[in-house]
């Protein structure tokens, strides 16, 4: 075997020498023809096979060339000394590295090594063309062992195309879509308005217990990588999260962190702008996969109460997909109902498109209809709690750059640990105190925070457990009231479906009665 390789090497050397001699003696055309012939001979004896991916495919750009370029820029290891070209595509948030002319990279797939070479040659006699052609011809040449051919092709190319698509998506700006135009479509027939989504919240900056955070991240990771799982089990590739907890505990921040973590776009569905279940379906059908569909303050968004004012409704009947139709009895069905919403998340309509996450948020889980909470509807219920000590440490790190291991203010730190639970303070309030005091030095800011915690805990103690418990929701209600007044100034806009949070308690009772 060794002799074979030595012979092959000598043959190659001789051929190269012959090529040099020919170069000196023969005209260019003849030389080119001979070079092609020699190339063919060399390849016939080679243990490798070669595949060219040219930059253009006839008149149009070759999609595979672009994909290979993107793929190699991020995954394969350039040979030492390789030159990389640096680009930033339009509307992209990050740079990409490309392989410069004549450089090679090595990659591996299913245990087989492959080599890519970027070949750039001057274009000869361009001839006639309808459009200006680049002065150079570029191509990637893939070299794989003959024996690996079956194993690698076409799976390796599929893998490259999929990876490149994912890289392209991740390097683009995230988009936040809103349906603030009501049901009206834009000139392209889309009901959603996109704006660039640049929310800085990430799972690193999110203050919550590390174990719970890790379990949510693992769940999201499994979901994103679960294509074959969902296919095998016959489930729609979607997941529902219900985030609940007092205002200012990080529900919206968690949604932004999820979007940044997965690289998904966000559809912020304003239910108060949707006038019927049919419109809701249209909106759903116009969402893309790899997205998070958010309904904030769900307890304020779906109005079930109007049914109470209507004549006694017939019994709820199961719909095609098993959801209970609670639409019955609403005024001519021209409104958003719980059943419409459940179909949207859970029923047949939820399967339009794939890889989508639904997130509902509420400050009052107890006000939610049990139909929305039953198992299988929302896969994960996440309680966003008042600030705990582990969460506080994350906030101290974010705002004061205070590392976990630091000795700064060890005494104050112990005090914070002691008082944080008793103070029942939200991460938003802690953040406020830290922002206000961030110029006064770490220790001063922590001392100030400790004072606030003690004062709050003391107030709660004086109010007495019962009064404090009663007061807390009222505070929340007031905050919500304010928020709603700001968000939806169009009061009395319509019957069901329009935001009518004003009297949450009564609505809840009415809704439950009706069910
Ligand atoms: N868990 C948290 N981690 C980090 N920052 C937080 C957290 N909770 C709140 N904050 C800070 O408080 C601000 C308000 O938080 P956020 O809007 O996420 O709360 P929310 O739970 O959605 O409140 P609401 O119920 O009123 O919508 C955020 O901009 C963020 O700076
Ligand atoms: Mg919020």
- Indicate the burial class of 440 (C-beta count within 10 angstroms; 0-12, 13-18, 19 or more): exposed
3-class secondary structure, 285: helix
DSSP 432-459: HHHHHTGGG-HHHHHHHHHHHHHHHHHH
Distance (angstroms) between ligand 1 centre and the Cα of 217 equals 18
Q: Which residues surround ligand 2, an ion (CB under 5 A)?
A: 251-252
Distance (angstroms) between ligand 2 centre and the Cα of 484 equals 12
Distance (angstroms) between ligand 1 centre and the Cα of 222 equals 26
| Cis preceding linkage at 415, omega within 30 | no
Ligand 1 atom with minimal separation from the 428 CA: 12
Angstrom distance (rounded) from CA 12 to CA 9: 5
Tell how far CA 163 is from the center of its chain.
16
Nearest residue by C-alpha to atom 31 in ligand 1: 428
Distance (angstroms) between ligand 2 centre and the Cα of 455 equals 26
Nearest residue by C-alpha to atom 24 in ligand 1: 247
pLDDT at 335: 72
Give which of 509, 515, 429 is closest to 476, Cα–Cα: 429
Angstrom distance (rounded) from CA 357 to CA 264: 9
Q: Find the DSSP H helices in 276-352.
A: 277-285, 298-301, 306-309, 338-345
Q: Given the DSSP bridges, would you call strands 104-109 and 112-122 parallel, antiparallel or unpaired? A: antiparallel
pLDDT at 410: 84
Nearest residue by C-alpha to atom 13 in ligand 1: 428
Contacts of 338 (CB under 8 A, 6+ apart): 302, 304, 326, 369, 371, 372
Contact between 416 and 449 (Cβ < 8 Å): yes
* Helical (H) or strand (E) element with 60: strand 60-61
**Which CB contacts under 8 angstroms, 24+ apart, belong to 5-8?**
8/45
Mutational test site, ligand 1, from 198, 395, 428, max ligand atoms within 8 Å of CB: 428
Architecture of 174-383 per CATH?
3-Layer(aba) Sandwich (3.40)
pLDDT at 141: 93
pLDDT digits (tens), the chain, 515 positions? 567 667 766 776 776 776 666 666 667 777 778 778 877 777 777 889 989 999 887 667 788 888 898 888 777 555 566 666 666 655 555 566 667 777 888 899 999 999 999 888 876 655 555 555 556 788 999 999 999 998 898 999 999 998 888 888 877 778 999 987 766 777 667 789 888 898 999 999 999 999 999 999 999 999 999 888 888 888 888 899 999 999 999 999 999 999 999 999 999 998 888 888 888 888 888 888 889 999 999 888 765 443 333 334 444 433 333 343 444 334 444 477 777 777 777 766 666 667 899 999 999 998 888 888 876 678 899 999 999 999 999 999 999 988 876 677 788 999 999 999 999 999 999 999 999 998 888 889 999 999 999 999 999 888 875 544 444 444 444 444 444 444 443 333 333 333 333 333 333 333 222 22
Q: What are phi and psi of 233, to 5 degrees?
A: -90, 0
Residues 55-64 as b/e (b if ≥16 CB within 10 A, e otherwise) read beeeeeebeb
This prediction has a pTM of: 0.66
Distance (angstroms) between ligand 2 centre and the Cα of 256 equals 10
Ligand number, closest to the Cα atom of 251: 1
* Alpha-carbon distance values, 502 to 180, 309, 378, 488, 493 (Å): 21, 17, 26, 12, 13
Range list of β-strands (E), 100-192: 104-109, 112-122, 136-145, 174-178
pLDDT at 91: 53
* Alpha-carbon distance values, 113 to 18, 43, 69, 154, 156 (Å): 32, 18, 18, 15, 11
What 8-state DSSP symbol labels residue 272?
A: G
Residue ranges around ligand 1 (CB below 6 Å): 205-208, 247-253, 363, 384, 427-428, 431
Nearest residue by C-alpha to atom 17 in ligand 1: 252
Nearest residue by C-alpha to atom 7 in ligand 1: 250
Mutational test site, ligand 1, from 252, 430, 485, max ligand atoms within 8 Å of CB: 252
Domain borders along the chain are 1-46, 48-123+134-172, 174-383, 389-487
Q: Given the DSSP bridges, would you call strands 291-295 and 265-268 parallel, antiparallel or unpaired? A: parallel
Angstrom distance (rounded) from CA 294 to CA 276: 18
């Amino acid at each position: 075997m060794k002799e074979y390789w030595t012979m092959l090497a000598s043959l190659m050397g001789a051929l190269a020498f012959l090529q040099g001699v020919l170069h000196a003696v023969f005209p260019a055309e003849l030389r080119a023809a001979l070079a092609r012939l020699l190339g063919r001979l060399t390849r016939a004896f080679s243990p490798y096979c070669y595949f060219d991916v040219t930059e253009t495919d006839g008149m149009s750009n070759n999609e595979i060339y672009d994909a290979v370029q993107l793929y190699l820029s991020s995954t394969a290891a350039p040979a030492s000394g390789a030159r990389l070209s640096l680009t930033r595509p339009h509307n992209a948030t990050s740079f990409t590295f490309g392989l410069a002319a004549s450089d090679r990279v090595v990659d591996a797939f299913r245990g087989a090594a492959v080599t890519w070479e970027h070949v750039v040659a001057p274009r000869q006699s361009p001839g006639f063309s309808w459009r200006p052609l680049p002065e150079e011809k570029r191509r990637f040449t893939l070299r794989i062992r003959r024996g690996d051919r079956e194993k690698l092709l076409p799976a390796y190319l599929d893998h490259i195309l999929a990876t490149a698509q994912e890289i392209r998506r991740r390097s683009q700006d995230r988009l936040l879509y809103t349906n603030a135009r009501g049901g009206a479509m834009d000139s392209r027939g889309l009901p959603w308005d996109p704006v660039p989504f640049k929310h800085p919240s990430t799972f690193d900056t999110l203050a919550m217990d590390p174990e719970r955070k890790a379990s949510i991240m693992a769940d999201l990771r499994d979901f994103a990588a679960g294509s074959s799982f969902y296919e095998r089990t016959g489930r729609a590739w979607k997941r529902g999260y219900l985030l609940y907890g007092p205002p200012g505990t990080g529900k919206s921040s968690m949604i932004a962190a999820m979007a940044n973590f997965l690289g998904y776009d966000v559809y912020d569905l304003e239910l108060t702008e949707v006038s019927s279940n049919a419109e809701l379906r249209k909106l759903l059908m116009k969402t893309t996969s790899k997205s998070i569909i958010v309904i904030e303050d769900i307890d304020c968004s779906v109005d079930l109460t109007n049914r109470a004012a209507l004549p006694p409704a017939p019994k709820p009947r199961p719909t095609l997909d098993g959801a209970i139709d609670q639409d019955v009895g609403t005024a001519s069905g021209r409104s958003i109902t719980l059943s419409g919403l459940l179909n949207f998340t859970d029923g047949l309509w939820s399967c339009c498109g794939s890889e989508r996450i639904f997130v509902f948020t509420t400050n009052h889980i107890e006000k939610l209809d049990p139909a929305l909470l039953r198992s299988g509807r929302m896969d994960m219920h996440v309680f966003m709690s008042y600030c705990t000590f582990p969460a506080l440490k994350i906030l101290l790190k974010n705002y004061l750059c205070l590392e976990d291991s630091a000795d700064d203010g060890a005494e104050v730190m112990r005090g914070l640990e002691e008082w944080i639970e008793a103070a029942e303070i939200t991460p938003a309030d802690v953040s406020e105190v830290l922002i206000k005091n961030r110029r006064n030095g770490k220790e001063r800011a922590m001392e100030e925070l400790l004072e606030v915690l003690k004062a709050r805990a003391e107030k709660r103690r004086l109010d007495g457990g019962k009064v404090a418990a009663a007061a807390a929701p009222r505070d929340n209600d007031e905050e919500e009231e304010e928020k709603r007044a700001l968000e939806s100034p169009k009061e009395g806009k319509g019957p069901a479906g329009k935001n009518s949070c004003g009297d949450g308690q009564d609505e809840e009772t009415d809704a439950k009665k009706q069910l």
